[in-house]
Chains A and B, each alone.
Chain A
Amino acid sequence: MILILLAALWLLTLLLDIFVVERIFDPLGYLYIALGIVALLYVVWPLYTGRRLVQYYWQRVKRNRLAVVGLAFILFLILLALFGPLFTADPTAVNFEEKNIPPVGFSIEESVYSAETGQFITKTASGTWEHPLGTDNKGRDLLAMLVSGAGVSLQVGLLATGIAVALGTLIGVVSAYLGGKVDNILMRFTDIMMTFPFFLLLVFIVFIFGPSLAFIVLVIGLTGWTGVARLIRSEALSLRTREFILAAKALGASDGRIILAHLVPNVISLIVVIATLSIPGVILAEAALSFIGLGDPSVTSWGMILRAGQQSLDVTWWVAVVPGVMLFLTVLAFNFVGDGLRDAFDPRSNV
Chain B
Amino acid sequence: MRKTWLRDYIIKRLFYAVIIAWGILTITFVLVRVGPSSPADKYLSNLAARGEDPAQVTAAIEARYGLDKPIHEQYFNYIGNLVRGDWGWSFSTSMPVIELIKTHWIYSFQLILFSTILAALAGILIGIYSAVRQYSKTDYIATFFSFIGISIPNFWLGVMLILLFAVQLGLFKTYYDTSIPLFSLGNLKQLILPVVTLGTGMMAGYTRYTRSAMLDNLRKDFVRTARAKGLPETTVIGKHVFRNAVLPLVTIIMFDLGSIVFGGAYLTEIIFGIPGLGRISFNAIFADDYAVVVAVTLISAFLVLFINLATDIAYAYLDPRIRYD
Asked if A276 CB lies within 8 Å of chain B CBs, one says: no
B252-276 to A contact mask, C-beta < 8 Å, 1/0: 0000001100110011001100000
Q: How far is the CA of A192 from the CA of B266 in the complex (A)?
A: 21
Residue of A nearest to B214 (CB): A350
- Asked whether, in the complex, the Cβ of A324 is within 8 Å of the Cβ of B156, the reply is yes
Q: Compute how far the CA of A350 lies from the CA of B297 in the bound complex, rounded to whole angstroms.
A: 35
> Is A56's beta carbon under 8 Å from chain B?
no
Question: CB-defined interface of A267-291 with B at 8 Å, one 1/0 digit per residue?
Answer: 0000000000000100011011001
Q: Is A320 touching B160 in the complex (CB atoms < 8 A)?
A: yes
Closest to A325 in B: B156
Number of A-B contacts (CB under 8 A): 126
How far apart are the CA atoms of A58 and B147 in the complex, in Å? 22
Contact with B along A159-198 (1 / 0, CB 8 A): 0000000000000000000000000000010011011111
A197 touches B211 (CB 8 A): no
- Please report the total number of A residues contacting B with Cβ < 8 Å: 44
* One of B16, B32, B37, B285 near A188 (C-beta < 8 A): B16
Residues of A contacting B27 in the complex (Cβ-Cβ under 8 angstroms): 196
CA distance A209 to B100 in the complex (A): 26
List 10 A–B pairs whose Cβ atoms lie within 8 Å, in order of A's numbering: A192-B19, A194-B304, A197-B297, A199-B263, A200-B262, A203-B282, A284-B153, A309-B159, A328-B152, A349-B212
Instruction: List the one stretch of A113-121, A232-240, A329-337 in contact with chain B.
Output: A329-337
Tell yes or no: B242 within 8 A of A by CB.
Answer: no
Complex CA distance for A325 and B155, rounded to whole angstroms: 12
Please list the 7 inter-chain residue pairs (A to B) with the smallest Cβ-Cβ separation, ordered nearest first. Answer: A208-B35, A324-B156, A199-B263, A332-B151, A350-B212, A197-B300, A331-B151
Report how far A280 CA is from B31 CA in the complex, Å.
27
Question: Complex formed: what's the CA distance from A288 to B278 in Å?
Answer: 14
Question: In angstroms, how far is the closest chain A Cβ from the Cβ of B283?
Answer: 11
Identify the closest chain B residue to A349 (Cβ). B212
List B contacts of A198 (CB < 8 A).
Answer: 259, 262-263
State A327–B155 Cα separation when bound (angstroms): 11
Q: A191-B16, A288-B267, A327-B153 are in contact. Are A197 and B262 (CB under 8 A)?
A: yes
Min C-beta distance of A16 to chain B, whole Å: 23
Report the minimum CB–CB distance from A128 to chain B (whole Å): 23
